[in-house]
């Protein structure tokens, strides 16, 4: 089973000394061509600071993000799951993961990057700034990624649990063997979608997976595992994850 995550706007600086991006070494080799196009267009955009600030929707204190992009092919790399920070990724506590957890993550966890497309947890990537709604010269990220990413996901020979935001689903819908996870708040008499606690719940959910490393063949297996964890997961046209159950069980 593959768990598909959205990326984060925020990322750690730094990486392994002497390392740099090796596009050909990234997982999902079928995405190499659009990756190189994306990098080339980001380089073109970053050469014009005012245009880059506007295209990336940056504020006056975020100019350093453009400078990051200017160095993206030369700056040091680290594993993708460690690169991303923020509300979803901080609960993963990647610094505490042992070798077995990293091995499970690299086989089962994929992040959908606006710059690189699909990357596995262990793929080495640099710091960068690009979001699903950013604008690149001469094209949109949807035109660049939608067909290639969907084609790759269609070839995945295992169920895909889609934890992405809708913006990233637009950059490559998953195939027929996928289930989209909708995080909701259960207020008793009604349910509503969430934002902040949506991300935190997903992070805690994936952290529990990294800790337990279950052998899951289908959504029914996932529901059974989640029940044992105290999580409320309900299958259907979309898989529903009740945020309060995850937050309380993980407290």
pLDDT tens-digit profile of 65-83?
999 999 999 999 999 999 9
Q: What is the pLDDT of residue 196?
A: 67
pLDDT digits (tens, 9 = 90+) for 220-233: 999 999 999 999 99
Please state the rounded mean pLDDT for residues 132-137.
94
% of the chain at pLDDT higher than 70: 98
pLDDT tens per residue, range 167-215: 999 999 998 889 999 999 987 667 777 666 899 999 999 999 999 999 9
117, 137, 131, 121: which is closest to 46 by C-alpha? 137
State the greatest distance between any 2 C-alpha atoms of the chain, in Å, as a whole number: 56
Pairing of strands 117-120, 2-5: unpaired
Bridge-partner residues for 162, per DSSP? 4, 180
Q: Please tell me the predicted confidence (pLDDT) of residue 197.
A: 82
Give the domain ranges of the chain: 2-249
* Average pLDDT estimate for 32-56: 96
Q: Are strands 124-125 and 78-79 parallel, antiparallel or unpaired?
A: antiparallel
In this predicted model, what pLDDT tens digit does every residue of 237-247 receive, in sequence order?
A: 999 999 999 99
Is the torsion defined by CA of 166, 170, 172, 175 positive or negative?
A: positive
What residues does 191 pair with on adjacent strands? Answer: 186
Report strand pairing: 233-234 vs 239-242.
antiparallel
**117 or 193: which leads in pLDDT:** 117
Instruction: Report the percent of the chain where pLDDT is more than 90.
Output: 92
Angle between helices 32-46 and 63-70 (to 10 degrees): 130
CA-nearest of 114, 248, 231 to 161 is 231
- How far, in Å, CA of 243 to CA of 184, rounded? 6
Q: Is the pTM of this model over 0.85?
A: yes
What average pLDDT does range 117-143 have in this prediction?
Answer: 96
- pLDDT score for 221: 97
Residues in the chain: 251
What pLDDT does residue 192 have?
78
């Amino acid at each position: 089973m593959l768990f598909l995550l959205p990326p984060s706007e925020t990322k750690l600086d730094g990486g392994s000394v002497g390392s740099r991006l090796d596009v050909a070494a990234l997982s999902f080799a079928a995405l190499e061509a659009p990756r190189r196009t994306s990098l080339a267009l980001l380089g073109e955009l970053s050469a014009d600071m005012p245009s880059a600030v506007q295209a990336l929707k940056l504020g006056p204190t975020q100019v350093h993000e453009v400078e990051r992009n200017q160095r993206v092919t030369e700056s040091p790399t680290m594993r993708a799951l460690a690169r991303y920070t923020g509300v979803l990724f901080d609960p993963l506590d990647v610094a505490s993961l042992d070798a077995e957890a990293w091995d499970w993550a690299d086989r089962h966890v994929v992040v959908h990057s606006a710059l690189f497309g699909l990357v596995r947890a262990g793929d080495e990537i640099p710091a960068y700034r690009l979001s699903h709604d950013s604008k690149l010269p001469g094209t949109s990220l949807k035109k660049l990624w939608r067909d290639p990413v969907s084609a790759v996901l269609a070839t995945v020979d295992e169920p895909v649990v889609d934890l992405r935001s809708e913006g990233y689903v637009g950059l490559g819908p998953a195939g027929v063997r996928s289930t989209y996870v909708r995080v909701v708040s259960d207020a008793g008499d009604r349910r509503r979608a969430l934002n902040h606690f949506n991300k935190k719940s997903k992070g805690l959910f994936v952290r529990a997976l990294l800790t337990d490393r279950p052998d899951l063949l289908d959504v029914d297996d996932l529901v059974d595992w989640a029940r044992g964890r105290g999580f409320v997961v309900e299958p259907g046209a979309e898989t529903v994850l009740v945020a309060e159950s995850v937050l309380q069980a993980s407290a």
